[in-house]
Amino acid sequence: MSASGFSDLREKLKSMTPHRDNYKNRVTGKDDSYKNRKVKVTDGGNSNSNGNGRKRKHRDSSEDEVEHSDPAESREQEARRVQSGIVQVEVFSKEDCDVIEGKINEVVANGEAGLYREHTVDRAPLRNKYFFGEGYTYGAQLEKRGPGQERLYPKGEVDDIPTWVHDLVITKLVASGVVPEGFVNSAVINDYQPGGCIVSHVDPLHIFARPIVSVSFFSDSALCFGCRFQFKPIRVSEPVLELPVRRGSVTVLSGYAADDITHCIRPQDIKERRAVIILRKTRPDAPRVDQSPSPNPSPPERHTPLKAKRSHRRADPDAAHRPRVLEMDKEENRHSSSSSRLHRRSNSSENYRRRSQDGDGSRKVKMRRH
């Protein structure tokens, strides 16, 4: 025996590398404890191998979190993130609301009389929008559809912010610390009839700075986050967060609530007439609709009132529960009508051919009525 206590060099090597035998036992199946382990099979039931017959587990801590995550808990977490970007304050009294609502009625009357510029008034079924200060293209007005395609109208194509909006609304918000002096340069009034709505959207990030400030009038309603709209008939999925908005309340959106999740007004939440004044600041680098330069630029003038497009649909309290016909539906109906006309024309030609054959006696066709 050598001085190191080993009579055989192989025994010495074995004592120096014990992990090799363990590895060999695992490969050949001699390790009974390994046989009782559960191996996760991935890739549609095909076990993964490293070429030595060993099954491999593809699992880590992040996978454990996904497998054990609770959808309801994830929804609650997102609702908390939305809530973190919302501030609501009470600034306007009932008396303030009465006065402001009278002014909103004047705006509606001026729009009906055609006293505003063309792009100031935008009409939709059960919802009219009035742009002041700055207006922008959206929805069906876009040449290219999709987020990021919105454009401000050229300067002067919408009316200025009315004096009463500055005096009765913006001044009080500045005094209450909701917005800084000089922040607001865009005011929009949305006037909803019962059953009106606005689909899920994010206020264009490339157009408007944050925060987004809105003030509610005429009735209580709700602002919903994370909904999906479907049509024919109109349906709205459950929101991640349903935020009550009361008459006279101020809602301020920023952070996650303004940028990372959509918000909407559902038809079922407009039970009575409701109006909202949205106050925002446009970004200095916001893109505008292309306008060919004039050789002698001059401020725009209105020689005659421009009548805004009218909606032929009247307010209906039951409209929230009635299917709405949208442009996409009309297009589909047109295609359907064209197909029906072609089908009828084809049938007519076939009947004519059969009658011709009957007339010359060469072939008789017996027609059955089904």
Active site residues: 136
Q: Which amino acid is at 321?
A: H
Q: Which two tokens stand for residue 335?
A: 């295609």
Using DSSP, state whether 290 is helix, strand or coil.
Answer: coil
> From its phi and psi, is residue 126 left (phi > 0), alpha (psi between -120 and 50) or beta?
left
Contact 289, 118 (CB under 8 A): no
Question: In 58-71, which positions are buried (b, 16+ CB within 10 angstroms) versus exposed (e)?
Answer: eeeeeeeeeeeeee
How far apart are alpha carbons 130 and 308 in whole angstroms?
Answer: 11
How far apart are alpha carbons 67 and 73 in whole angstroms?
Answer: 13
Q: How far is CA 117 from CA 60, 95, 130, in A?
A: 62, 31, 10
Say how many C-beta atoms besides its own lie within 10 A of residue 290's C-beta: 8
Say how many C-beta atoms besides its own lie within 10 A of residue 344's C-beta: 10
